[in-house]
Amino acid sequence: MAIEDDVLVVGGGLAGATAALAAKDADPDARVRLVTYKQSTLRHASGLIDVLGYGPDGDGPLVDPFDALVNLPESHPYRRVGVDAVREALSFFDGVAGDAYAGNHTDRNALVPTAGGTVKPTARYPAATAAGLASDERDALFVGFETLPAFDAPRSASHLEAAGVPFSTRGETVSFPGIDRDDAKLVRYAHLLDEDERVRTSGRRMGARTALATAVDARLGEESRIGFPAVLGDERPAEVRSYLADALGVDVFEVPTGPPSLAGMRLEDVLFDALSDDGVRVTAGVPVIDYELVAGGASESDGDRIDHVVVDRHGSEIPHRADQYVLATGGLVGKGVKSDRDGVFEPIFDCHVPQADDRYDWFVDDVFGEQPYARFGLEPDRDLRPLDPNGEPEFSNLRAAGAVLGGYDFAAEKSGAGVSIATGYVAGTRAAEEVSR
User: What are 388-403's pLDDT values in tens digits?
Assistant: 999 999 999 999 999 9
Q: Where are the beta strands (DSSP E) in 256-368?
A: 281-284, 288-293, 306-313, 316-327, 338-340, 343-345
Q: How far apart are CA 173 and CA 170, in angstroms?
A: 10
The rounded distance, in Å, linking the Cα atoms of 428 and 272 is 16
Domain boundaries, the chain: 3-101+265-436, 115-255
Rounded Cα distance between 192 and 365, Å, is 48
Q: Which of 206, 187, 209 is nearest to 196 (CA)?
A: 209
Tell me the CATH architecture of domain 3-101+265-436: 3-Layer(bba) Sandwich (3.50)
Q: 287-310 burial string, b = 16+ CB within 10 Å, else e?
A: bbeebeebeeeeeeebbbbbbbbb
Q: Evaluate whether 156 touches 171 at the Cβ level (below 8 Å).
A: yes
Asked if the bond preceding 61 is cis, omega within 30° of 0, the reply is yes
Helix (H, G, I), strand (E, B) or coil at 225: strand
| Rounded-to-integer distance, Cα 32 and Cα 8, Å | 6
Rounded-to-integer distance, Cα 91 and Cα 97, Å: 10
How many Å apart are CA 131 and CA 142, to the nearest integer?
12
**pLDDT tens for the chain, residues 1 to 437:** 678 999 999 999 999 999 999 999 999 999 999 999 977 778 888 899 999 999 988 888 999 999 999 999 999 999 999 999 999 999 999 999 999 999 999 999 999 999 999 999 999 999 999 999 999 999 999 999 999 998 999 999 999 999 999 999 999 999 999 999 888 889 999 999 999 999 988 778 999 999 999 999 999 999 999 999 999 999 999 999 999 999 999 999 999 988 889 999 999 999 999 999 999 999 999 999 999 999 765 544 446 999 999 999 988 999 999 999 999 999 987 889 998 888 899 999 999 999 877 776 677 666 566 776 778 899 999 999 999 999 999 999 999 999 999 999 998 999 999 999 999 999 999 999 999 77
Listing DSSP states for 4-69 in one string gives: EEEEEEE--SHHHHHHHHHHHHH-TTS-EEEEESS--GGGGS-S-B-S-SS-TTS----S-HHHHH
Q: How far apart are the first and last CA of the chain?
A: 26
303-349 pLDDT per residue, tens: 699 999 999 998 899 999 999 999 999 998 788 999 888 889 999 99
* Confidence at residue 300, expressed as pLDDT on a 0 to 100 scale: 47
- DSSP lists the bridge partners of residue 320 as 3, 309
Distance CA 418, CA 45 (A): 13
Q: What's the burial of 104, exposed, middle or buried (CB within 10 Å: 0-12/13-18/19+)?
A: middle
H/E element, 142: strand 140-145
- Identical fold, 3-101+265-436 and 115-255: no
DSSP annotation of 363 reads: -
Q: Tell me the CA distances in angstroms from 340 to 347, 359, 374, one per residue in order.
A: 11, 10, 16
115-255 placed in CATH 1.25.40:
no
Please name the amino acid found at residue 32: V
For residue 397, give the amino acid letter.
Answer: N
Do 253 and 130 meet the contact criterion of CB atoms below 8 Å apart?
A: yes
Whether 270 contacts 100, CB under 8 Å: yes
Beta strands 343-345 and 338-340, pairing class: antiparallel
Quick one: CA dihedral 162, 163, 168, 174, positive or negative? negative
Chain-centre distance for alpha carbon 284: 18
* Residue type for position 59: D
The Cα–Cα gap between 212 and 143 comes to 11
Q: Which of 79, 204, 228 is nearest to 148 (CA)?
A: 228
